[in-house]
Structure 1
Amino acid sequence: MTTGEPRPLRRLGFLTIGLFDPADPRPGHERTLEIVELGERLGLDSAYVRHRHLQHGISSPVAFLAAATQRTSRIDLGTAVIPLGWENPLRLAEDLATVDVLSGGRLHPGVSVGPPMRFDDVRHSLYPDTAEQEDFSYARVERLLRHLRGEPASTFSGRQGIEVFSERVEPYAPGLADRVWYGGGSVRSAAWAGGQGLGFLSSNVVRFEEGVGRPDDFAGVQRAQIDAFRAAHPDPERARVSQGLVVIPTDSATPAQAERYRAYAAERLPRTREPQGPAGMMFAPDLVGTSAEIAERLRADAGFQAVDEVVLALPFTFEHDDYRQIVGDIAGGLGPALGWSPATPAGAAS
């Protein structure tokens, strides 16, 4: 594994779960839309939303991003990630294409595979008749990509009475298939995504595998996966990899906010010391400090050195004002400290 000077940071964005009050869900969704709008005003390149089924976070990121397309005009909008075990690839392709058209080509879908979380608890609601036959493998991504590329989804096209039918998914969104990312956490998934020519989303959770790095070195294991992705990609130098860590700059935080942020990170730190659970999941430490301090730590991070795009994850349980402060410091302090420059604000003169 090699390390060295990081690539110049080309793109900077954020990721949010979009928490809401189950007794009154609209304000939480509105506040998350406000954070997306703020990111655009500050010149950030992307805003991603997580996917949470049967929880009090955004359960339908595609529907949410449809609203975001009407309140933004420049910032890229993405999902990190849609678990395809919950989805019909043809229907999802229709939804994704519709949102991409509404956005003017700004949608960046991130997807993953595997059985739905807590599948035994939801299988009778999700797949009451076909649970045993469902294929949760990479083939589900391949089906989605075929539909997004406009390959035939039906054996019939033409006119029937006064109605006209297409053989492909409509609307067709040119270029959308080339903006699909795969969210993976193992060398195998990284290499598969690279071989498919997809983008690769690497988060603050990866799987430890024997012979791949040390069990106490998250950055080294993540770097090995990124290297495997690029090695398998048909155009390694142009292959897109995004690193997502929980990063909390405190430049403009109040003393009370900064103290709360440090306590949050300290509470989560024990899980980062060794792989967790039977799957051997490794967690990256949350980074809390000034932009200068965080930038120094990132420049020394083996995973960060291999990417030129980052999507920084906002902590799950913070308040709206906390998110405004963190996003503001990411754009105004941390990004410039890493050599990043904000995009031209929408509507500004060139």
Structure 2
Amino acid sequence: MPSSPRPLRKLGFLTIGLFDEADPRRGHETTLEIIELGERLGFDSAWLRHRHLQYGISSPVAVLAAASQRTRRIELGTAVTPLGWENPLRLAEDLATVDLLSGGRLNPGVSVGPPMHYDRVRDALYPDTADAEDFSYERVRRLLAFVRGEPASAFSGTEGFEVFSDRVQPQAPGLGGRMWYGGGSLDSARWAGEHGMNLLTSSVVKAEDPDGPWDFAEIQLSLVRAFRAAHPDGEAARVSQGLVVIPTDSATPGQRAKYEEYAARRLPRTATPQGPGRLLFAPDLVGPSAEIAERLHAHAAFREVDEVAFALPFTFEHEDYVQILTDMATVLGPALGWKPAEG
């Protein structure tokens, strides 16, 4: 039986950071402006999503390095970095560097599996090793080991005038405890828990029962419980939920119509599992904050988390995001028991 709703402790948001191919700098700049706005509004975290070979941020870690110098409090995360595109050792160096630059505010979220459209990019990405690459959880385990200070080399010491470490440098204290796994299946939730990670659960889960019925909230709840059952911290293990949430309290009539049309176009995919991966999508939540809060309080998985990173729709305009974030922080968040961060 689901517990009573927990007061929302941490409110965050996720953006894809779209840009125009003819003016990519402006798109990246508006993403940084959105993160700065989030800090002013008291949000606890801002998250970026990877988009490779598309017109969205391909290097969130670099963008978050810039954001770390334009903010001082808000936590900065990736949701998520697909590790199939990454070398775990090199990524560990980048993550530690940005974490230090941010003052310990980085929250890297990762996932596994082959890169999207792997058959089309394999020759560019791994021209000599495409068939030998391991896209399993082992890739995450390697990253965790390097971030947490396990040896990356069989040599340390002085060679000539240079000093070498057998660990990734720099080492960022505390970063190992702020690693997140983006999981949509029971196996991934359990694996993340067993390896002491935090869990990012989004608006997509895997419908593993072929016969149904398929209830998104109940499936997501099973992931949360499986993760915590496997995690050394048990019920205290951190879970962040990432539904698409669009409050309309201060929206113009034109904005409300656009938001409702966006959600209506996406609603059919929520009825049954999609594709060979049997992915089940959550309906987007659009409307006044009071209505959204009521729906969230009735959501089986939301009732057992106290952190969220609500996803911003990908195709809206900058002024839409300003309105949505402002309503989230000033109306919806407080309706969920959240208090904005100070300073």
TM class, shorter-chain normalised?
over 0.9
Name 2:130's counterpart in structure 1: 131
Q: Shift of the alpha carbon at 1:214?
A: 2.6
Counterpart AA for 2:63 = F
How many residues end up aligned between the 2 structures? 343
1:226-273 deviation digits (Å, cap 9, x = unpaired): 111111111112100010000000011111101110011011101111
The gaps in structure 2 that reach 5 residues or longer are: none
Structure 1 unmatched runs, 5+: 346-350
Cα distance, 1:212 vs structure 2: 9.5
3-state SS of 2:205 partner: strand
Do 1:213 and 1:224's aligned partners in 2 also have CA atoms closer than 8 Å?
no
Structure 1 counterpart SS, 2:181: strand
Following superposition, the deviation at residue 321 of structure 1 comes to 0.2
Question: Is the contact between residue 248 and residue 288 of structure 1 (CA under 8 Å) also seen in structure 2?
Answer: yes
Q: Distance in 2 between matches of 1:329 and 1:77?
A: 21
Matched, 1:276 2:303: no
CA-CA distance at 1:276 after TM superposition: 0.8
How big is each residue's C-alpha offset from its partner over 1:305-337, in whole Å with a ceiling of 9 and x where there is no partner?
A: 111100000000000000000011110010000
Cross-structure match for 1:33: 32
SS at match of 2:310: strand
Aligned to 2:323: 325
Task: Say whether 1:103 aligns with 2:106.
Answer: no
Evaluate the alpha carbon distance shift between residue 255 and residue 323 of structure 1 in structure 2; reply closer, same or farther with a 3 A threshold.
same
Match of 1:233 in 2: 231
The alignment partner of 1:243 has SS state of strand
Aligned residue for 2:111? 112
CA distance in 2, matches of 1:192, 1:153: 23
Q: What residue number does 1:348 align with?
A: none
Secondary structure of 2:70's counterpart equals coil
Q: Normalized against structure 2, the TM-score is what?
A: 0.98
Q: Distance in 1 between matches of 2:120 and 2:109?
A: 25
Match of 1:220 among 210, 214, 218: 218
Say what the alpha-carbon RMSD is for the aligned residues: 1.0
Task: Output the amino acid matched with 1:105.
Answer: G
1:212/1:224 contact within 8 Å kept: no
2:43 aligned partner, one-letter code: L
Structure 1 contact 212–221 (Cα < 8 Å) conserved: no
How is 1:143-158 mapped onto 2 (pairs within 5 angstroms)? 143-158=142-157
Structure 1 residues 50-69: aligned runs within 5 Å: 50-69=49-68
Q: Could you report, residue by residue, the CA deviation over 1:172-215 in whole angstroms, capped at 9, with x for unpaired residues?
A: 10110110000010011111111111100000011101189732
TM-score scaled to structure 1, two decimals? Answer: 0.97
User: Once the 2 structures are TM-superposed, how far is the Cα of residue 6 of structure 1 from its aligned partner?
Assistant: 1.2
Residue aligned with 1:109, SS: strand
